[in-house]
Structure 1
Amino acid sequence: MEKAAEKIDLVWGAEEIAKVIGRSVRVTFHLLTTGAIPAKKVGGRWVIERNKLIAFFMEDAA
């Protein structure tokens, strides 16, 4: 049986999050620090589950 944690695809760091959403690192960092993107800071690095990040932007587009 697979563990649920093995299915989680996390995106770590503002740089990687920026690549996923197609924005500059500067804009992405601003969105992260203002809470516009529902990410969390863990050990000094931003992290968000890839599916949640994509779903968040898809909701805004609809």
Structure 2
Amino acid sequence: MEPIDPALDLVWGLEAISKLIGRSVRQTHYMLSTGKLPAKQVGERWVTSRSKLVAFFLEDAA
């Protein structure tokens, strides 16, 4: 699992993001590559903000 920098609230890497949202790596890759999750690709790695993911799922549930 990639380290999470609490100062920046960033989650780096496909595996770390998938663990955070409780999905498989394959499902997470699909969601990231189709723009269904608030994240960006930096080089070959995905990065997202933990708070943006929480807000995304809370908004979706409301």
- TM-score band, normalised by shorter chain: 0.7 to 0.9
**Which segments of structure 1 move beyond 2 Å, counting only runs of 4 or more?**
none
When the two structures are superposed, what TM-score results if normalisation uses the length of structure 2?
0.84
- Give 1 or 2 for the bigger CA radius of gyration: 1
TM-score (norm 1): 0.84
RMSD: 1.2
Length, aligned pairs only = 57
Greater percentage in strand: 2
Structure 2: state its 5+ residue gaps: 1-5
Report which structure shows greater RCO (CA 8 Å, sep ≥6). Answer: 1
Give unmatched runs, 5+ long, in structure 1. Answer: 1-5
